[in-house]
Structure 1
Amino acid sequence: MVDPDQVFRATPLKEAVHMKSSGFYGQTVKRFLHLEQEPVSLITRSLRNAEIAVTETRVDAPVPRPSGEMGLQDAYVVSLKLNDYPNCEIWEHGNAVKADIRAGATYLYDMKKDPRFIINKPFHSLHFYLPRFALDGIAEQSGAPRVGDLPSQLGVGHDDQVMRHIGGTLLQALRRPTETNQLFIDYIMLAFTTHAAQAFGGLRWRARVPRSGLAPWQVQRACERLDSDLGGMLPLQLIAAEFGLSVSHFSRAFRISTGLPPHQWLLRRRVEAAKQLMTARDLSLSEIAISAGFANQSHLTKVFSAQVGASPAAWRREVQGTEDSES
């Protein structure tokens, strides 16, 4: 093993309280892994304005060297590994272990312990940044005591099917960020935080989970708010706050009332808007895509085809042919 005094200078834990550090995403991840470019991160602030983020990192031919610093703070990095990393050398406060990191497993790192590792093999991971403040927010909404420390044991992974499902869902969003609306990010990252608190922190819900949906006037108002922003940039937190509800409570109640979570309701509404534009106006599909809240024509085609069972062009030809025959 490498001499920790020569490789890593651990910051004393006392300094962590006073250290101001950005969350583990963006430039922080770039510096930590010595990446050439800043990686794409998806961020939500739907829990008490705590920043929760996910970042995909992949390097196929790394330059062997020690990692940088995550930055000491009261937060965790929950890492879903997407490839094997055998004989990985990991450090915390000068203490080192070697472990075989397995693809598909989830590993937890406590940022208060200054985790580092030796970069000497190709790596591919999804890193979730989870501040303590967000865990406290989930506990508060559930009426439960605050979650204790998460089990961040060096080199010990968790076989977590839910994390693999969440990771697979977010990978598509990370690779097509322009096609991803904020409602989707808020919804999935809230699901991640809730799962992490329950699976790793032992959270048990005590608050009554709503069995009924929103009141009719609330459904109407919520749908109006979503409909006014087909681009999906309006955070769930702002909509939920209008009804005095937490994001998790609002999301569950909205789904009970409409049969869909907010981001999927919005996608359906975008398709309806695109249909109206195709039948009412002589616009190009690229113009219709932007007007209906899609990132581009390709995004419109992907979502429209999945929901309708035909491409926008084919659907428009069929509708126009029907109208011509009726006239």
Structure 2
Amino acid sequence: MTQAGAFGQRLGKFLHLKDAPPSLITRSLRGVELAVTETRDDNPVPGLSGSFTAEDAFVVSLKLREFPDCELWENGKCVMKADVPAGATYLYDLKRDPRYVIDKPFHSLFFYLPRSALDGLTEQSRKPRVGELACELGVGHDDAIVRHIGSSLQAGLRRPDETNQLFIDHMMLALTAHVAQAYGGFRPGTEPTRGGLAPWQARRACEKLESDLGGKLSLQQIAAEFGLSVSHFSRAFRVSTGLPPHQWLLQQRVKAAKQLMTVRDLPLSEIAMSAGFANQSHFTRVFSAMVGVSPGVWRREAQGISEGET
């Protein structure tokens, strides 16, 4: 198992959790794996946390619960104590063996960000390599972008079967770019906005996405077919279609569901599965948000219109 794939297990041992928390994994940057995991323990066993294996990687942590008077360790030594407020973002360098004393309830999101992901970003942008990130022990950041990305991914962590891979890839790519810019000095430059995909590329990309309504394909797999970087493909696809790939896919699911409800008298649970949704509740939630009414109401209205026309 890869480092990212085992991230939940590693965090579970680090925090002395009974069960390894689930992770969402992305492979959107030239095959480099990143992960995000939610951890929580309302009644932890007091003691010093475990250690991560030293590696050239970073952990970005969004604190969802305050942790006052936190005793922080680095390289095997107690360095300082600091209050950790809810909503703050912290960065940790895994080469420095970051640890802390667990003596209060905690709730956090952790993003695993290997150095190779940052290198892939700069190579794709033809920019200088990012140096060290601003991993200052005990220094939290009021980072609205990390909070937004974290909030968006929390639902996916709690209902992984309902989260398509394109969405995970999109959000983790955004996190990588943001961290590189905000904490690593990365400047993407002011290049003129590139155009969209060639017509044949846009047609082929849409066919690929439509053939996999369940959303198992990754952005990396689709972009690689055209020899494009993930960031370039995502940007060009949005220019061509008006939507990022994961939102375009949701529209196609809703479109497929409407066709099934109009033509065939199937149970909504079967329609949900046929249109790429994880289950009926997932279908109802997404459909209602995009269309403004529930699938049942939409079908009754559509059937009423059809009967009226005949």
- TM-score range (shorter-chain normalised) is over 0.9
TM-score by length of 1: 0.92
Which residue identity is paired with 2:292? G
Shift of 1:176: 1.4
Deviation string, structure 1 residues 85-134 (Cα, Å, up to 9, x no partner): 00101111123211101111110110001111111001010100000000
1:123 equivalenced with 2:143 (yes/no): no
Distance of 2:245 and 2:255 partners within structure 1: 15
Partner of 1:69: 51
Question: Which consecutive segments of 4 or more residues in structure 1 shift more than 4 A?
Answer: none
Q: How much has 1:211 moved relative to structure 2? A: 2.9
Letter in 2 for 1:200: Y
Give the partner amino acid of 2:3: S
Aligned residues with identical type, % of pairs:
67
Identify which of 57, 72, 80 aligns with 2:62: 80
Task: Tell me the amino acid that sits aligned with residue 158 of structure 2.
Answer: R
Structure 2 residue 10 is matched with structure 1 residue 22: no
Note the C-alpha offset of 1:69: 1.4
Aligned to 2:307: 324
* TM-score calculated relative to the size of structure 2: 0.97
User: What pairs with 1:1-327 in structure 2 (closer than 5 Å)?
Assistant: 22-23=3-4, 25-96=7-78, 97-206=80-189, 208=191, 210-327=193-310
Amino acid at match of 1:68: G
1:181 to partner: Cα distance = 0.3
The answer as to whether partners of 1:141 and 1:207 remain within 8 angstroms in 2 is no
- Relative to structure 1, the CA distance from residue 91 to residue 209 in structure 2 (aligned partners, 3 Å threshold; closer, same or farther) is farther
Give the drift of 1:22.
Answer: 2.6
2:268 alignment partner AA = L
Aligned length: 308
Contact 1:210–1:253, Cα closer than 8 Å, also in 2: no
Aligned partners of 2:76 and 2:97 also within 8 Å: no
Distance 1:94 1:21, change over 3 A: farther
Query: Hey, what's the Cα distance between the residues in 2 that align with 1:291 and 1:303?
Result: 15
Shift of 1:209: 5.5
Change (3 A) 1:209 1:105: farther
Over aligned residues, Cα RMSD in angstroms? Answer: 1.4
Q: Decide whether the 8 Å contact of 1:44 with 1:185 is kept in 2.
A: yes
**8 Å Cα contact 1:26-1:40 kept in structure 2:** yes
- 3-state SS in 2 of match to 1:200: helix
CA distance in 2, matches of 1:103, 1:313: 40
CA positional deviation for 1:68: 1.1
User: What displacement does 1:21 show?
Assistant: 7.9
Long gaps (5+) in structure 2:
none
Cα distance, 1:209–1:231 mapped onto 2, change above 3 Å? farther
**1:189 counterpart SS class:** helix
Q: Deviations over 1:46-78 (max 9, x none)?
A: 112111110000111111011111111100000
